[in-house]
Amino acid sequence: MTIRNQFLSGPRIAPRPIGVDERTADTIDNAFLAYNAGRLRDACELFDKRMLRDDVTIGLALSGALTPAGLGMTCIVPLIEAGFVDWIVSTGANLYHDTHFGIGLEMRRGHPQMDDTALYEAGVVRIYDVVFEYDVLLKTDAFFRQLMTADEFQHEMGTAEFHYRAGRYVDERERTLDQSGSSVLAAAYRNGVPIYTSSPGDSSIGMNIAEMELRGYKLKINPSVDVIETTAIVFDAKQKDGRSAVMIMGGGSPKNFVLQTEPQIQEIMGLGEAGHDYYLQVTDARPDTGGLSGATPSEAVSWGKVDPNRLPDAVVCYCDTTIALPLLTAYALDRHPPRQPQRLYDRREELSDQLRMAYESAAGDRQPGEVIDKPR
């Protein structure tokens, strides 16, 4: 094949007209051919054909105000119920606002040009073009504080345990209100999907935990538990000859938390590993500003976060998550059969013990101040 023919070896651009009754997945395959539409098609194909294989463990990172816009109900819950998500790292805000829906509180569509001073005086809160009564916050705060008085919360725990226990209460409220499927927390509880929050104090949930500590209750969140558990999930996926995939919606702290599992294995613990196998990100952040939200998968290779041999299986789509995630979800549900849930929440202690034993075996007599050679 000549060099010219190599450059011209891609499929011809000759799409058919979009039909009246065309399925979403067919439209993506047919009409999303170039630019960021092309990257979104690449993301859909990566998710369907590679990431959703039975031997792949999928971590989902969520940042930005997604649940207030209803994406929990339209996308995240269906992905969980289909077995397409195995573990989650989310901002606390997404889980807090998700709870509004689960306990029967209302959020409504508004307009971004509303007068915020008038909204404040009327007791209405705005998230761009989503509006709700201030009382929604107060009732959600009261819900969390009430459940935190239960005996099962009176000890130190990681965020996955907290969210699992809280999810049971949200699930009970959902069933009482006959509105199953409205909450990510409840769906994750039912399917054994652990949910972690990388910055547990940076949300109204964390604020309420702090208030309950002032009252003398014993709930404390230990972030080190989350670091160990998430690392153990990825380590297990790779040790059993499987693969690890990350699906990143947005960026920020949740993006780093799903990706840092590999440097934790390699750089900190000194265990031989090469990085995540599949990388899918939707972001509106530029890479040239130096922020993590815009950092490319090729840059992540230098940190050991992504396997350099798997870069062809890395896709970044520059798009608003509220546009991309519904299309990605529709495509996956149309093209791929449901997977058996891994129920990783139920295996947290087992996986953490496995990681601990591997670390102890590799560390030997190594001292805390000793420099660790990069494992190969």
Q: Which residues are catalytic?
A: 305
DSSP category for residue 269: T
DSSP secondary structure letter of residue 67: G
Q: What's the token pair of residue 336?
A: 């791929």
> Is the CB of residue 80 less than 8 Å from the CB of residue 188?
yes
Sheet hosting strand 130-133, strand order edge to edge: 108-109, 130-133, 124-127
**Residue among 5, 118, 141, 130 nearest 69 (CA):** 130
Number of Cβ atoms within 10 Å of the Cβ of 210 = 12
Place of tokens 């709870």: 99
d(CA 31, CA 210): 50
The structure tokens listed for 150 are: 């239960």
Residue tagged 């009246």 (tokens)? 20
d(CA 171, CA 166): 9
* H or E, element range at 220: strand 220-221
How would DSSP label each residue in 112-171? TT--HHHHHHHTEEEETTEEEEHHHHHHHHHHHHHHTTSGGGSSEE-HHHHHHHHHHHHH
Residue with the two structure tokens 């010219």: 4
Are 11 and 30 in contact by the 8 Å Cβ rule? The answer is no
